[in-house]
Amino acid sequence: MSFSYPSFLWALFALTIPVIIHLFNFRKTTRIYFSNTRFLKQVKEETTQKRRLKQYLVLASRLLFLFFLVFAFAQPFLPAKEQLADQQSIVIYLDNSFSMSTPVREKTRALDEAIRMAQGILDLFPAEARYQLITNDFAPFSNSFKTKAEVSDLLSQARLSAISRSASEIIGRVKEKNVTLFWLSDFQKSTFGTASIDSTWQVSLVPLKLEDHANVFVDSVYLDNPFAIGGEKNTLKVILRNSSKKNVEGLVIKLSINGIQSGATSVNIEPNSFAEVPFDIATGKGLNKGLITFSDFPISFDNEFFFALNFASRLKVIEIKQGGPPSYIEKVFGNKDIFFFKSFTSSNLDYSGLASADLIVVNGIDKLDATLADAINSYKEKFGTLFIIPGTQPDLISYQKLVAPLLTKAPTTELNDLNKPDFRNPFFANVFEEKNNAIAMPRATQLISWGADRSAILQFKNGQPFLSQFGKSFLLASPLDKKFTDLFNHALFVPVMYRIAASGKRSEQPLYYSSSTSSITIEADSIVGEEPVKLVGGQELIPTQRNMNGKLQLELPKHALTSGFYYVINHRDTLGLLAFDLDKHESLLEQLKAEEATHILGNKPSISVFKGTSADAFTSEVKEKYLGKPLWKYAIMLALLFLLVEVLLLRFLK
């Protein structure tokens, strides 16, 4: 036991006063005469013994009262179990990520409890101590130590943040040696990572135990056909995840596009499992804001999911032909809202433009020269898709430079009917509203052959391929000439050509990005001048950017953007729409056990774990562990107790 004010112990000499009063009792006695004292002798002896017992008990009560009263003023305490590394340099890490909005008990969020714990730390340590407060925002105030009053004010302003920090990031924020670090967090497994602490630090882990609630969040969103164009029907697939151990039933999921509700459904999700929710949508035009919402109380920070449907980007198609009037290819890709089309003759080709094309159509060229073949092969290996339509008198040797299968002349020149499409082929997904086997098919003459191909997109009735796909290359068996086929006049022609063009689309913008994304790439062939591109939404940001071959790469400061929609603006032109969402790892609420967190940090003796689940219990534990256990309250209680004993002895003991 130790004393905060040991000088008060000199007052223990006051214990001699009751002793002196007891020894020197100057009360006068009265003599009474009796005629016979034979009976009084026995009474006198019994009365004297009782009086002495009472006097001794009263004396003991007075002595103990004074003793404990002096002890109370001296403020005794039990020494601390551990000593702080430095009571003058204290670091407090306050985890204010969205997961800390989870209740730790009824109507109490983990963040609110952590703030009370941090305030308790400020109240316990000396007034001259300095504090460094670190939150997930890594605000400028966390770079330096501050006074108790300044940190108390900052704690009152603490709010939930969309930013998650790993253990290594937090440790990297502490620059000094010999500090005491209080780590107040829910210690999520998904975001903690790995780290090692400085051996000179005293680290106190303060885990906040979250209540076990069901939590559902959007794991991913994708289109069933990401390359749908021209008003095709599509399906939006929403993958929901239940990361808890509780079953979720009847959860209502709503889809809104541009602020208008487009669909709603309910879903049941088993514990620790996924559920797929489909929504039918139409491929529209322009930039569209999509939003998935549901109500998942009390964990609601991840109940919204943003995604962008960009239908403004045009497919770039380049036709290389032998010459002559506009071809059927030029007519089918003439929709300027969907395609950016250019047609060149083989003798007047701009080779520099090949790299930016999504699809190159070699149409009706009888013989490919070596330079053109090399340029097309280079494009095919690095960039997009190739569609070969033979000429009326094709030189198969020159064609062989572009395609892998062996080409031969077809044995017949008659017009034959094409077989019905295989509706199970992914190529025809969402092309036909009704899968009718009675559909009328075009006719064609097979000019070139490449053998049997069971996976051909279109076939003749004799099983020979008419249109086949080899990797990124498509090959047609006859020219688009009325002498060889009537495909160009058939209703099947446009959707087949559109689907070939869509399969070459390589610049599809993701539907959404994580808020922790560091870089993105967008189409930028329309940028004019040196004015930088801006991201404009809930905030405005001019990121670091580089323009390379019509692609604009934007470097985003980590955690710079909040969730929501952002337009990509250059001058007054809108280049696209981006959607940013919370990192889904924040929604995985599984917590590390105390020993697991200690092991990750290196299992060093300087690491300790607090077990208090409330601010009051934590404060008491800090006092006992680092400041010692004060006993002055117990001394006062005992002093009052013995004062009461003295009063009772004097009043009732005759």
Is a pLDDT exceeding 50 seen at residue 26? no
Express each pLDDT in 313-359 by its tens digit: 678 899 999 888 889 999 999 888 778 899 999 888 888 888 888 89
What confidence tier does 294 reach under pLDDT thresholds 50, 70, 90? very high
What confidence tier does 46 reach under pLDDT thresholds 50, 70, 90? low
Query: Residue 540 pairs with which residues in a beta bridge?
Result: 536
How many other C-beta atoms can be found within 10 angstroms of the C-beta atom of residue 644? Answer: 12
Is a pLDDT exceeding 80 seen at residue 425? yes
Instruction: State the burial class of residue 390 (Cβ atoms within 10 Å of its Cβ: 0-12, 13-18, 19+).
Output: buried
DSSP string, 382-434: HS-EEEEEE-SS--HHHHTTT-SSPPEE-S--S-EEBPPP-TTSGGGTTT-SS
Is a pLDDT exceeding 90 seen at residue 22? no
Average pLDDT over residues 248-252: 94
- The pLDDT, as a whole number, for residue 515 is 87
Q: Could you give the 3-state DSSP secondary structure of residue 106?
A: coil
Express each pLDDT in 57-90 by its tens digit: 888 888 888 888 888 888 886 666 555 544 578 9
Q: Which is more confidently placed, 68 or 559?
A: 68
Is a pLDDT exceeding 70 seen at residue 39? no
Q: How many helices (H) and strands (E) does the chain have?
A: 13, 36
How many other C-beta atoms can be found within 10 angstroms of the C-beta atom of residue 624? Answer: 15
- The pLDDT, as a whole number, for residue 227 is 63
What confidence tier does 428 reach under pLDDT thresholds 50, 70, 90? confident
- The pLDDT, as a whole number, for residue 188 is 95
- Of these ranges, 246-250, 523-527, 641-645, the one predicted with the greatest mean pLDDT is 246-250
Q: Which is more confidently placed, 227 or 13?
A: 13
Is a pLDDT exceeding 50 seen at residue 424? yes
Q: Which is more confidently placed, 199 or 255?
A: 255
Is a pLDDT exceeding 60 seen at residue 111? yes
Q: What CA–CA distances, in Å, run from 367 to 201, 346, 476?
A: 77, 10, 16
- The pLDDT, as a whole number, for residue 86 is 47
Question: What is the layout of strands, in order, in the sheet containing 607-609?
Answer: 130-135, 89-94, 180-185, 202-207, 607-609
Give the Cα separation of 283 and 286 in Å (integer).
Answer: 10
Q: Cβ distance 413 to 445 under 8 Å? A: yes
Is a pLDDT exceeding 90 seen at residue 127? no
Is a pLDDT exceeding 70 seen at residue 654? no
**Max alpha carbon distance in the chain (Å)?**
165
Percent of the chain residues topping a pLDDT of 90: 43
Enter the DSSP assignment of 188. B
**Which range among 109-123, 456-470, 561-575, 591-605 shows the weakest confidence by mean pLDDT?**
561-575
**Which range among 56-65, 226-235, 373-382, 633-642 shows the weakest confidence by mean pLDDT?**
226-235
Is a pLDDT exceeding 80 seen at residue 285? no
What confidence tier does 430 reach under pLDDT thresholds 50, 70, 90? low
Express each pLDDT in 581-590 by its tens digit: 998 999 999 9
Q: Cβ distance 551 to 521 under 8 Å? A: yes
Average pLDDT over residues 541-562: 82
Give the Cα separation of 437 and 104 in Å (integer).
Answer: 62
DSSP string, 297-355: SS--TTSEEEEEEE--PPEEEEEEESSSSPPHHHHHT--TTTEEEEEEETTS--GGGGG
Q: Cβ distance 454 to 479 under 8 Å? A: no
Express each pLDDT in 152-209 by its tens digit: 999 999 999 989 999 999 999 998 888 889 999 999 999 999 998 888 898 999 999 9
Express each pLDDT in 520-546 by its tens digit: 888 776 676 678 889 999 888 889 888
Enter the DSSP assignment of 487. G
Q: Is the dihedral of CA 373, 374, 379, 384 positive or negative?
A: positive
Percent of the chain residues topping a pLDDT of 70: 89
Structure-block tokens of residue 551: 């692609």
Instruction: Quote the pTM value.
Output: 0.71
Q: Which is more confidently placed, 516 or 263?
A: 263
What is the pLDDT of the chain when averaged over all its residues?
A: 86
Is a pLDDT exceeding 50 seen at residue 637? yes
Is a pLDDT exceeding 90 seen at residue 112? yes
The phi, psi pair for 120, rounded to 5°, reads -65, -35
Average pLDDT over residues 481-486: 92
